[in-house]
Structure 1
Amino acid sequence: MSRPHPVQVIAVTGGKGGVGKSNVSVNLGIALSQMGRRVILLDADLGLANIDVLLGISAKRNLAEVLSGECDLRDVLVNGPGGVRIVPASSGTQRMTQLSPMEHAGLINAFSELGDQVDVLIVDTAAGISESVVSFLRAAQELLLVVCDEPTSITDAYALIKLMNRDYGVNRFRILANQVRNEQEGKHLFGKLTRVTERFLDVALQYVGMVPYDEAVRKAVQRQRAVLDAYPRAKASLAIKALAEQVDSWPLPTSPRGHLEFFVERLVGSNT
């Protein structure tokens, strides 16, 4: 087996539903893939298989079958647009925090076998701050928090930052303003969030840009296509490409804990 190489693990989260988190995950994955990165997208929204619906794909196998030994993780992967491979949400994912020691070992082994075939793992989490969401956030190296200019989005984003910082010592968050009119509005939204976090928490928030409100996104959703795939020159698509260029410059993990099997070890170990 080849030596494992560092894998960038990015959890995309939103605190609340409706902020466009899954759209960001899918299109960021496609943009990175177009730049030559090998991308796997893990749909970790356990209750709603959002990515399946967004892209009009249907999965024939799930992670439960991997754990039972009926198939390999490679059999579960679904080919998405732009070369992105998807691990779909399934009943198997829901059990990831309740695994037996043997299942832990099997899951770690399954992911480690993919380690030499992936550069970036994007984890599209569910909305909210459930135990399952927190598990994925704790396991990832990078947290990309998607916010929109609504009081509930800012309040829920703050609640998530506070929980991850105070309970788990996470102190770095990358912030993406979504569904805003322009860069100025995106920075204004980021300012609102930083003002409240600076008063009460010891965290570093980094503004990574904005994705504008774009009718092309709604049209793409109706067509069950990714906007980057259906409308590559749309304003939202260009903004996602700019985000991908930033992500591509983020430092890769240098310690062994940057290897893919360590992501899974942290994930399944965070609930033991």
Structure 2
Amino acid sequence: MLDVKLSQAEKLINLTSKANDNLTISKTKLLTITSGKGGVGKSTFTANFAYILSQKGLKVLVLDADIGLANMQVLFDVKPVVTLFDYINGHKKLKEVIVETKYQNLSLIAGKSGYQYGSNSNSFIFSRLVEDILELNYYDILIVDTGAGLNDYVKEFLKVSTNILAITSTDPSALTDVYSLIKMLAIDKKSLMLCFNHTKNDLIGETISNSLVNLAKKNRLKSEFVIKYIGSVPSSENITRAARARKIFVNEFRQEEAAHKLQNIVDSVLKNI
């Protein structure tokens, strides 16, 4: 089953190569944050990650690309009346679907929960959306928060990004899924940044990352492909508490260890992109 999925992924990569070649040269750095499995805290991580970047004086735009299960507007405590689909469907101009959050330098293009997008998944509509945002040449960083898993929507966003950050946990099923992600990306990508969530210490994340690297070598994945471990975020009840209150954890609990770890991860990512 996994080989079939990887074959399908390779076909999609070939189909989207032309679209990728046309991506605009822009000052805007593109970072795609993804996970092989749901429930690892990816969207909460993304919201806090984006906030930290904005506090460094960088203009940040978050694209909620979790098709059908969007929740970034909840984490940023905004109530958008327009979504990315209003632009895709031609009802609004791009700038009209960009929503300002209450945090300085931080904007959002919201998704839409429960939305069933019926267009052909090979139409490159989402990669064209990314290209249109880059053409604005306004933001310093565009963060694409993908859905969980490896459906065609996620693959399309991954295809057009050279900077990919995977969030996972030490749960065995999460590690299995993130390794499937690694196998897919190794086909035509140069590297993957890897971050662990809900870990007890950095050593655990580093050890598992090394194990994934060794497994990749054992299975003879492309030798040029690099897995970069960039840090771990410890568990904290306040992370969940802040998310439920529609607040940003690193803003509310700045002195917590998890907040400091997130700051370090942001610094590591900036060095890599």
| TM-score after normalising by structure 1 | 0.80
Q: 1:96 to 1:206 in 2, by over 3 A?
A: farther
Percent of aligned pairs with the same amino acid: 27
Q: Is the 8 A contact 1:45 1:124 kept in 2?
A: yes
1:212-231 pair list within 5 angstroms:
212-231=234-253
1:146-225 pair list within 5 angstroms:
146-166=167-187, 169-200=188-219, 201-202=221-222, 203-225=225-247
- Within 2, Cα distance between the matches of 1:214 and 1:96? 41
Q: 2:53 aligned with 1:32, yes or no?
A: yes
Q: 2:34 aligned with 1:13, yes or no?
A: yes
Aligned length: 244
SS at match of 1:43: strand
| TM-score after normalising by structure 2 | 0.80
Shift of 1:94: 7.1
- Within 1, Cα distance between the matches of 2:190 and 2:218? 14
Deviations 1:39-92 (A, max 9, x none): 100110002112123333221112333245443222211223533101111349
- Within 2, Cα distance between the matches of 1:67 and 1:146? 28
CA-based RMSD: 2.6
- Within 2, Cα distance between the matches of 1:179 and 1:104? 31
- Within 2, Cα distance between the matches of 1:207 and 1:234? 22
- Within 1, Cα distance between the matches of 2:182 and 2:26? 30
Deviations 1:79-131 (A, max 9, x none): 23533101111349775946599x997x578525522x201111111000101
Higher RCO structure (Cα 8 Å, ≥6 apart): 1
The structure that is helix-richer by fraction is 1
The aligned amino acid for 1:31 is I
4+ aligned runs moved over 4 Å, structure 1:
91-101, 107-110
Aligned to 1:122: 143
1:144 to 135, 155, 165: 165
2:107 to 60, 70, 85: 85
Aligned to 2:257: 235
Q: Which moved more, 1:62-71 or 1:11-20?
A: 62-71
Q: Is the 8 A contact 1:148 1:189 kept in 2?
A: no
Q: Is the 8 A contact 2:124 2:156 kept in 1?
A: no
Name structure 1 gaps, 5 residues minimum. 252-272
Name structure 2 gaps, 5 residues minimum. 1-23
Aligned to 1:62: 83
Deviations 1:163-192 (A, max 9, x none): 2223xx123111111110111222122223
